[in-house]
Amino acid sequence: MKYDVVVIGGGSSGCRAAKANAAKGRSVCVVSAGLTLQATKPESEGRVYADLYELRKMGVAVLRGDTVLSGSWDGAKLLEVHTSNGLTLQADEFILATGRFFSKGLVSTMDTVFEPVLGADVDFPSDREKWFNADFFAPQPFEQIGVRTTADGHIFIKGEAAENVKAVGKILGGERHAKK
Amino acid sequence: MQKNNDSFLNFEACLKCSICNTVCPMMEVNALYPGPKKSGPDQERYRLKDPAFYDYALKYCLNCKRCELACPSGVQVADLIQRAKLQYGSRSKHPVRDAILASTDFVGTMASPFALIVNSVLPLKPVKAVLDGAFGIDSRRTFPKYSSEKFVTWFKLHAQKEQEKYSKFVSYFHGCYCNYNYPQLGKDFVKVVNAAGYGVHLLEKERCCGVALIANGMEKQARKQALINIESFGKAVEKGETILTSSSSCTFMMRSEYREILDLPTEGYRDSLFLACKWLYEKIESGEVKLKFKPLKMKLAYHIACHMQKLGWQNHTIELLKMIPGVELVVLNQKCCGIAGTFGFKKENYEYSQAIGANLFADIKEAAPDAVVTECETCKWQIEMGTGVPVMNPLSVIAAALE
């Protein structure tokens, strides 16, 4: 199935990206693994940017309860992604909006942090002791952990910038989660 | 979804975030239902300690699977509830009624030869009053009509011979609704698949998928029928045939619930069993099949049935319908119609069923389509009764548009 844009993740950032692209007349598909804007999240500070119904009315294809498992690449170009319901989605442009640790956009183990869907490069301090600050309300270093991007938001795969994949939202890191 | 630990249906992964409660259609209308979080992962801990903790309000679960779609942690909430109902649920107050509603094969076989009589007697007020009073089948409900000629009978008499001129074949799981109530759906299926250049075979043996049996606590019978189906699927796969279906709930039952609720092996056929629309779209997309459509001047509203959304194949149907020139397509917001198979037929559930459906009916009336399109037959009954708008299976739309 071919779209102009495939958005991976149907949270606030994913829905906003989908809405912006659909408003430009592009064909858009959103893959939403679970969390959606229809449920109010404290992180979205009560703002509702676009709910899934609004997107459907704009002609956006919404896949709820589906998960992107992997992607097929041609060099630095992402050709298609494969979902848990057995769909193959092709697109000119992909937007990675899977969020951070809670939504499993990033996964941490004892010694590493990785991005599980496409394997994007993630910046994190190599010394685990430096991931957190003992003072709970102080800025937490782990809040700065996010995928590495170019100046215009393209992700890196094994050190090489991806041609047609951008990251948006919390997966970029930098939000003061604990303080909120 | 990714599994996080090894607990039963992943229930320990629940973070108590309550997102499942916000999407549950039953919670919205029924204060007696404790909601998916409590019914599923929360109470599972107690049930494991002592079955006496089983909460009888679990009977209100529609098994629409919305809670599973919304769960960010991959908890199989609805499966937990279904399994608890089967394991701990007590006998129904209306065992005869439940058996009548759930045993679609038996009732269909009995009703078909007398379809004319059954169809004219069932809508009569005194008959409905008896069904209501004695069995608890709500008298306000419109019953589906029975067909005097079963699909299988028609197929064997009029279509089977022609199929042999094709060199490629698919197997068709027609389901009870097509066989006993609406054989035209099967005829449309054969027309569409033939137009795609494939012949149709019936499965060696086919029984009701058992979705209604599970919902009514008749696990033993469901298992028996499932095993017969699984054996037939195995034989079809051996012949290299894809198994196609026209109903979303049967498909979901056979692909997922056989494994998750009945613990039966599905690996042998799971990747060869699809809804016909998904199969057809992929054949067209890959260039193997080319279909010519004539214009069809219709405004259609597509209702994504709950189990269809769980299957995740609605886009295939939407894209297929868009290929038909002249069709104006509206995709309805995904709301539950409230009937949930046999649930809405029961007297004690009628009010809840209609209250849930009201949201969807309002959307349909606003869209004012010529027909609603959906893969689910119980949704069809509910929507036709609730709005008066005719409901079609997408295969029937495609068959009508074929040149």
Per-residue pLDDT at B102 exceeds 70: yes
Q: Say what the pLDDT of residue A76 is.
A: 94
Q: Rounded to an integer, what distance in angstroms lies between the CA atom of residue B313 and that of residue B397?
A: 17
Q: Which residues neighbour A74 within 8 Å (Cβ) at sequence distance 6 or greater?
A: none
Per-residue pLDDT at A49 exceeds 70: no
Question: Which segment of A169-173, B36-40, B199-203, B399-403 scores lowest on mean pLDDT?
Answer: A169-173
Q: Say what the pLDDT of residue A178 is.
A: 59
Per-residue pLDDT at B54 exceeds 80: yes
Q: Say what the pLDDT of residue B357 is.
A: 94
Are A56 and B331 within 8 A, CB to CB? yes
User: Which SS3 state, helix, strand or coil, does residue B402 take?
Assistant: strand
Are A34 and B69 within 8 A, CB to CB? yes
Q: Rounded to an integer, what distance in angstroms lies between the CA atom of residue B385 and that of residue B76?
A: 32
Q: Rounded to an integer, what distance in angstroms lies between the CA atom of residue B151 and that of residue B177?
A: 10
> CA nearest B119: which of B153, B148, B99?
B148
Taken in order of first residue, the domains within chain B and their CATH numbers are 8-88 (1.10.1060.10), 298-401 (3.40.50)
Least Cα separation, residue B120 to chain A (angstroms): 42
Q: Rounded to an integer, what distance in angstroms lies between the CA atom of residue A5 and that of residue A30?
A: 9
Q: Say what the pLDDT of residue A93 is.
A: 97
Q: Rounded to an integer, what distance in angstroms lies between the CA atom of residue B195 and that of residue B240?
A: 20
Per-residue pLDDT at A180 exceeds 70: no
Are B313 and A85 within 8 A, CB to CB? yes
Per-residue pLDDT at B394 exceeds 70: yes
Q: Say what the pLDDT of residue A3 is.
A: 96
Task: Spell out which residues of chain B touch residue A86, defining contact as CB-CB under 8 Å.
Answer: 271, 312
Tell me if chain A has a CB within 8 Å of the CB of B315.
yes
Q: Rounded to an integer, what distance in angstroms lies between the CA atom of residue B249 and that of residue B243?
A: 15
Task: Spell out which residues of chain B touch residue A39, defining contact as CB-CB under 8 Å.
Answer: 19, 22-23, 70
Tell me if chain A has a CB within 8 Å of the CB of B99.
no
For residue range B220-245, what is the model confidence (pLDDT) as tens digits? 999 999 999 999 999 999 999 999 99
Q: Say what the pLDDT of residue B97 is.
A: 84
Tell me if chain A has a CB within 8 Å of the CB of B323.
no
User: Which SS3 state, helix, strand or coil, does residue B204 take?
Assistant: coil
Helix (H) / strand (E) containing B252: helix B248-252
Residue B88 tokens read as 């701990």
Tell me if chain A has a CB within 8 Å of the CB of B310.
yes
Chain centroid to CA B92: 23
List beta partners, residue B385.
Answer: none
For residue range B300-327, what is the model confidence (pLDDT) as tens digits? 999 999 999 999 999 999 999 999 999 9
Q: Which residues neighbour A1 within 8 Å (Cβ) at sequence distance 6 or greater?
A: A29, A87, A88, A89, A90, B285, B315, B316, B319
Position A40 confidence tier, pLDDT thresholds 50, 70, 90:
very low
Write the burial class of residue B402 (CB in 10 Å: 0-12 exposed, 13-18 middle, 19+ buried). Answer: middle
List beta partners, residue A114.
Answer: A107
Q: Say what the pLDDT of residue A36 is.
A: 57
Contact A170, A99 (CB under 8 A): yes
How do beta strands B199-202 and A61-64 pair? unpaired
Residue B141 tokens read as 């409900």
Least Cα separation, residue B272 to chain A (angstroms): 12
* Higher-scoring residue by pLDDT: B272, A139: B272
Say what percent of chain B tops pLDDT 90. Answer: 71
* Amino acid sitting at position B263: D
Are B68 and A85 within 8 A, CB to CB? no
Q: Rounded to an integer, what distance in angstroms lies between the CA atom of residue B304 and that of residue B318?
A: 10
Per-residue pLDDT at A35 exceeds 70: no
Are B72 and A66 within 8 A, CB to CB? no
Instruction: Say how many CA atoms lie within 13 Å of A109 toward its Cβ.
Output: 5
Contact B303, B317 (CB under 8 A): no
Q: Rounded to an integer, what distance in angstroms lies between the CA atom of residue B235 and that of residue B221?
A: 22
Mutate to test the interface with B, among A37, A53, A69, A114 (most CBs of B within 10 A): A53
For residue range B339-375, what is the model confidence (pLDDT) as tens digits? 998 898 888 899 999 999 999 999 999 999 999 999 9
User: Which residue of A52, A65, A85 is in closest CB contact with B68?
Assistant: A65
User: Which SS3 state, helix, strand or coil, does residue B137 take?
Assistant: strand
Q: Say what the pLDDT of residue A51 is.
A: 66
Are B72 and A35 within 8 A, CB to CB? yes
Question: Which segment of A39-48, B87-96, B269-278 scores lowest on mean pLDDT?
Answer: A39-48
Least Cα separation, residue B278 to chain A (angstroms): 10
Q: What value, to the nearest 5°, has the Cα angle with vertex B384 and ends B380 and B387? A: 130
Mean pLDDT, rounded, of chain A: 86
User: Which residue of A36, A38, A85 is in closest CB contact with B312?
Assistant: A85
Q: Rounded to an integer, what distance in angstroms lies between the CA atom of residue B311 and that of residue B313?
A: 6
Chain centroid to CA A24: 21
Mutate to test the interface with B, among A29, A43, A56, A89 (most CBs of B within 10 A): A56
Q: What is the ipTM of this complex?
A: 0.82
Write the burial class of residue B77 (CB in 10 Å: 0-12 exposed, 13-18 middle, 19+ buried). Answer: buried
Q: Say what the pLDDT of residue B390 is.
A: 96
Are A1 and B319 within 8 A, CB to CB? yes
Q: What is each CA distance from A25 to A28, B63, B194, in whole angstroms?
A: 9, 37, 37
Are A67 and B2 within 8 A, CB to CB? yes
For residue range A51-90, what is the model confidence (pLDDT) as tens digits? 667 788 888 998 888 899 999 999 999 999 999 998 999 9
Taken in order of first residue, the domains within chain A and their CATH numbers are 2-172 (3.50.50.60)
Are B19 and A39 within 8 A, CB to CB? yes
Question: Which segment of A62-71, A116-125, B106-115, B259-268 scores lowest on mean pLDDT?
Answer: B106-115
Mean pLDDT, rounded, of chain B: 91
Position B376 confidence tier, pLDDT thresholds 50, 70, 90:
very high
Measured on CA atoms in the order A136, A139, A143, A145, is the torsion positive or negative?
A: negative
